[in-house]
Structure 1
Amino acid sequence: MSESYLSGLIERQAEAYGDRAALKYRDYKKGVWIPVSWNQFAGKVKRISRALIASGVGVQENIGVFSQNMPECLYTDFGAFAIRAVTVPLYATSSEAQVHYIVEDASIRFLFVGEQYQYDVAYRVQQLCKTLKQIIIFSPDVARSPEDMNSIYYTDFLKQGESVEHQAEAERRRSESGPADLANILYTSGTTGESKGVMLHHSCYEAAFRAHDIVLKTLSDRDVIMNFLPFTHVFERAWSYYCLTKGCLMCINLYPQDIQMTIKEVRPTAMCSVPRFWEKVYAGVHEKINEASGLKKSLMLDALKTGYEHNIRYLMNGQTPPPLLHMKYKFYERTIYNVLKKTIGIENGNFFPTAGAAVSKEIEEFVHSVGINMVVGYGLTETTATVSLGWLDDFRTGSVGKTIPGLELKFGENNEILLRGETVTKGYYKKENLTRSLISEDGWFHTGDAGYMKDGFLYLTDRIKDLFKTSNGKYIAPQAIETKLVVDRYIDQVSIIADQRKFVSALIVPEYRQVEKYAKDRHIAYTDRKDLLQKPEIIALFQMRIDTLQQEFAHYEQIKKFTLLPEPFSMEKGELTNTLKIKRQVLMQNYAEEIEKMYEE
């Protein structure tokens, strides 16, 4: 059996790159980025491997990592892989109930935690759990509970690995590792029901790396990567592992809300993100255009029009742009596009993978028009992330690209996308019935997503489970309407209501800052946010914008009534998953009164 690729990856890269920086993380006390060399990374991995053995961690035992993005997450992952242990990541924002469920379900004895919130939750869970033996704390700033005599800090845990007495055992385990070993169990947060543990074996990652080597030809050890999404998310996790195989420099963003600052400090060449990041950029640019006037405004509008003509109308369709248009495009590239990229912090951009939710046509066209190489893809936890992606010189707006090499795709009932290949999970942890219901005997995985192929490109239409049926028997795809609306600069979040109802309605969380500015500019007096959102002028503003945005939908798909909410949907209220997807059932309960009001005769 050949050694699993990830078990020795960091050591091999240290031999190749030595003292060159592998990682960087931000020291918030000093306000500087601290580099970690490949040699240091490999040293940490070795120590964590020996410390895990010293603690009694067995072959294929599950260990938990409950933290926001930190270098320690990667040290722990690769330290575990080297001794054939399995890592189970938990979202940094997970609730006590979610952590309790995962720790019990995966029989986790050792749980690594990031900062105070994660420690506090884990310590409370430990009192209720039969399995949890020890909590290991990454951040030295965490204050332990006075009664806690058992938890230890990461630095003290590593000391157990300083002695080489467990080195022989570590080497034996690594030599016995193989692609058939389980690498991770990733619990999907799910918009309905309890989370389920997706098993990803080393063979899944190895197949994903081989496929991406064929497609992502421009990624190299010269790339600087910003890690923005949580490592717990399969998209960031698989991408990060892949970037490490390429020798890229990984810059780890600790707090997602700091990305506007950290991206400017790092100025990365690549970063994977969800569409929400680009929606914010789009809204920001259009705000600037709306505030501008005269020549400046017309230049900005012309730059967007020129970029659209050059990159979408001509290049995307395999045609050469006319010389005059190309000259104009090059002028805007040196001026307006360059200023925009510098303002975001991505003027060194190579490419930017984007997935995790539907990307609206407007956003995609805008990003490509200004010369940002957004790579739109589609994937699931169960497929080790990527199923398909559109490449820089081979994409179609509105599509999620072409399937990666080695992955078979066909369509089942209701145009459901079925997949088969080495990157597909072998099943759900301890859930044989669920595994059998979603993976056929001959290996076809039922994604639950509907779509179609055109000219070799995959297009998603809707989530089969998410289809709403109105009381008139018409089917509505809520995500299509929601994706269209969140592009608007006055709209932050939206949830469509239609199932078993006679018409479509919506709960809308406005972009409060924009609405308040609109009121100020028009001298609309109000006492508080709730009062502001009930003003006839504000309701008329939203009605106008919604009517404009939904013109392309059939009459029965269009929003007839809406409610503006004074508070955003939140994880605290259970309304969003850890990956910020809307939990429709919870919204139905939390806003039952507001919803019923929209359907009163």
Structure 2
Amino acid sequence: MQLSRLFDLIPYQISTYDNSVAFAKKENDTWKTYSARDLKRIVDNLGMAFIQSGLNPGDKVAIISENRPEWNFIDLALQQMGAISVPMYPTITSEDYQYIFDHAEVKVIFVGDKEIYQKAVEVAGDRKIYSFDQLPGVEHWTSLEVKGENGDLSKLEELKSKVKSGDLFTIIYTSGTTGRPKGVMLSHTNVLSNMLSVADIMTPPPGASKVLSFLPLCHIYERTASFCYIYLGFSVYYAENMEKIGENLKEVQPHVFNTVPRLLEKVYDKIVAKGYELTGIKKSLFFWALNLGLRYDPAADMGGWYNFQLKLANKIIFSKWREALGGNVMQINSGASALQPRLARVFWAAGIKVCEGYGLTETSPVVSASIGNHEEIRIGYVGKIVRDVQVKIADDGEILVKGPNVMQGYYKEPQMTAEVIKDGWFHTGDIGELDGQYLKITDRKKEMFKTSGGKYIAPQVMENKFKESPMIEQLMVVGDNRNFPGALIVPSFDGIKEYCTRKGIPYTSGQEMVEKPEILEKFQKEVDHYNKYFGKWEQIKRFKLLKRAWGVDTGELTPTMKLKRKVISKIYEDEIEGLYRS
């Protein structure tokens, strides 16, 4: 059948796979599942209820919730009648909610739980609010489903027939590292074309494959993926929460999942920490396998002796890594920020195919993606340019993108739109290099800075390298118009504790330990080690250890875990100044 709108994926999945499990969530310790036919019935009923409730094509509806099947039900039901979804991060402030409600002219709001409801109701005004959880005094989403059961299907079909592929279906407000969020307008064509390009290079076979989903559906990365899963007939299981991902991986035994590098870093750090707890031959074997994996290049012939050792390492050490991820993982897609090459190497060595990609909300999102086979993977690159997308590098190194995936523009911001889309090319703000069809990201254009000596510093490259240290959780390079680069370092408090245990250093608390001379000396050695990878003008001369981690809730990170450099610089103004006092 012809796919021209995203909601066409529902009948497509039924006719192609007739999935018994399209979506699933945990309820009362049991996985509650919805078939493809359940999906169609619920979405149609909701659509008819929306019509009865007076919602019109073009009206904006906010969805603020953690991942769950209800999220998709509402999203698809709105699409079918031509209404426009406005997905929002649950973690942002009520002030941000109000800005988006007002800017997008939201008419109806769906919230997930009590905490989200309490933030939304403060600023909702007279907007109608429905909830996914049962909450006192709040109308539950199922009331709409019941209402729609007696609706007029012919009216819904009439509205569906009027929805065109080029029509706007969502406005996604980007988190942004500075200033107010911008509303990215995406059409059915934008996301559908991108989804089909990605589906072409998925490793798990269509149908009967399972997915564990935990990245926010309000972000275009997981949302486009969710449409891809419907198209491929995958069963999508939504993780209970971030704390239970490990448990859910073992229960669901997925074939694929999407993640961000930060999570892979934490998984790796926990594995290494457990390795340090081993003793004798077990510890020796663990670090022998780990060091073997860190040298691995999946695209190269590593030689007979290396291959023999790796086979042995996979049998006695790495098999346990795969079991921890459920035992069936065929592909992990990593995006949103840079993946450390050493992590890609060691996971591929362990038989876990981590495929890094690159994209933006404005590009729906995928521009390039790594392919999960040994012949086409290239460590250090964010994959090949996907089908139907064009990329070129501007004279100043900026990555420019053209294709059916590029957004319609920023909502109510024609000037901003004109600043980033010129002659059909979207200016990403990222700096990169092309080697044939392979793309490498080197930095953010706006984040590069000059020292007072006129030398350019690319902070992201440095930060990614320094975070390879098991002692470093987060790091921001500073030094704009200063005579040398410095760094604010959030230590890995687990790393400090483990180091103290190994060295017999009395441990009190992470906050106290960062001021101890022996810990400062250890961090100096770490900084000295990673400085060797950079030119003299780039090397970090001084650093400051901080006593708490940066977070989304505390304002230093965007919901996609990017550094808000201006915010961090303001909060730690005194600490930064201290780096440059003689």
* TM-score normalised over the length of structure 2: 0.95
Alpha-carbon spacing, 1:268–1:21, altered in 2? closer, same or farther (3 Å) = same
Alpha-carbon spacing, 1:496–1:325, altered in 2? closer, same or farther (3 Å) = closer
Aligned with residue 207 of structure 1, among 193, 207, 215: 193
Q: What corresponds to 1:13 in structure 2?
A: 13
1:21-420, aligned counterparts within 5 Å? 21-27=21-27, 30-127=28-125, 133-140=127-134, 142-144=135-137, 151-165=138-152, 167-216=153-202, 218-307=204-293, 312=297, 315-317=298-300, 319=301, 322-323=303-304, 325-343=306-324, 345-391=325-371, 392-393=373-374, 394-420=376-402
**Which stretch shows the higher mean deviation, 198-207 or 448-457?**
448-457
Q: Deviations over 1:451-501 (max 9, x none)?
A: 111243111111000102112211111111111122222221111211122
Q: What corresponds to 1:429 in structure 2?
A: 411
SS at match of 2:482: coil
Letter in 1 for 2:24: K
- RMSD (CA atoms): 2.0
Equivalent residues of 2:203, 2:330 under 8 A apart = no
Alpha-carbon spacing, 1:402–1:39, altered in 2? closer, same or farther (3 Å) = same
Q: Deviations over 1:365-422 (max 9, x none)?
A: 1111212111111111111111011212302111111101111111113111111110
Letter in 2 for 1:436: A
Alpha-carbon spacing, 1:164–1:3, altered in 2? closer, same or farther (3 Å) = farther
Equivalent residues of 1:283, 1:488 under 8 A apart = no
**Which stretch shows the higher mean deviation, 431-440 or 486-495?**
486-495
SS at match of 1:349: coil
**Which stretch shows the higher mean deviation, 345-354 or 528-537?**
528-537
Q: Deviations over 1:60-107 (max 9, x none)?
A: 222110111111100001111111111110001111111111111110
Tell me how far apart the structure 1 counterparts of residues 187 and 201 of structure 2 sit (CA, whole Å).
Answer: 22
Equivalent residues of 2:255, 2:329 under 8 A apart = yes
Q: How far 1:163 moved relative to its partner?
A: 1.1
Q: Deviations over 1:408-444 (max 9, x none)?
A: 111113111111110111211111000111001x311
Q: What corresponds to 1:475 in structure 2?
A: 456
Equivalent residues of 1:7, 1:177 under 8 A apart = no
SS at match of 1:452: strand
Q: How far 1:298 moved relative to its partner?
A: 3.2
Tell me how far apart the structure 1 counterparts of residues 364 and 310 of structure 2 sit (CA, whole Å).
Answer: 38
Tell me how far apart the structure 1 counterparts of residues 250 and 579 of structure 2 sit (CA, whole Å).
Answer: 44
Q: Deviations over 1:127-170 (max 9, x none)?
A: 3xxxx520111101x344xxxxxx422122323212123x2111
1:513-592, aligned counterparts within 5 Å? 513-525=494-506, 528-592=509-573
SS at match of 2:408: coil
Equivalent residues of 1:116, 1:143 under 8 A apart = no
Tell me how far apart the structure 2 counterparts of residues 560 and 72 of structure 1 sit (CA, whole Å).
Answer: 51
Q: Deviations over 1:276-322 (max 9, x none)?
A: 1111122123223333343323323333455566x51xx503x4x54
Tell me how far apart the structure 1 counterparts of residues 531 and 133 of structure 2 sit (CA, whole Å).
Answer: 48
Tell me how far apart the structure 2 counterparts of residues 532 and 156 of structure 1 sit (CA, whole Å).
Answer: 55
SS at match of 2:106: coil
Q: What corresponds to 1:148 in structure 2?
A: none
Equivalent residues of 2:256, 2:331 under 8 A apart = yes
Alpha-carbon spacing, 1:305–1:488, altered in 2? closer, same or farther (3 Å) = closer
Alpha-carbon spacing, 1:16–1:513, altered in 2? closer, same or farther (3 Å) = same
Equivalent residues of 1:506, 1:562 under 8 A apart = yes
* TM-score normalised over the length of structure 1: 0.92
Tell me how far apart the structure 1 counterparts of residues 346 and 531 of structure 2 sit (CA, whole Å).
Answer: 19
Q: What corresponds to 2:466 in structure 1?
A: 485
Alpha-carbon spacing, 1:14–1:59, altered in 2? closer, same or farther (3 Å) = same
SS at match of 1:398: coil
Alpha-carbon spacing, 1:220–1:17, altered in 2? closer, same or farther (3 Å) = closer
Q: How far 1:261 moved relative to its partner?
A: 2.2
Gaps of 5+ in 1: 145-150
**Which stretch shows the higher mean deviation, 232-241 or 33-42?**
33-42
Tell me how far apart the structure 1 counterparts of residues 553 and 9 of structure 2 sit (CA, whole Å).
Answer: 38
Equivalent residues of 2:487, 2:540 under 8 A apart = yes
Gaps of 5+ in 2: none
Letter in 2 for 1:295: I
Tell me how far apart the structure 2 counterparts of residues 303 and 459 of structure 1 sit (CA, whole Å).
Answer: 28
Letter in 2 for 1:477: A
Q: How many residues align?
A: 579
Q: How far 1:217 moved relative to its partner?
A: 5.6
Equivalent residues of 2:488, 2:545 under 8 A apart = yes
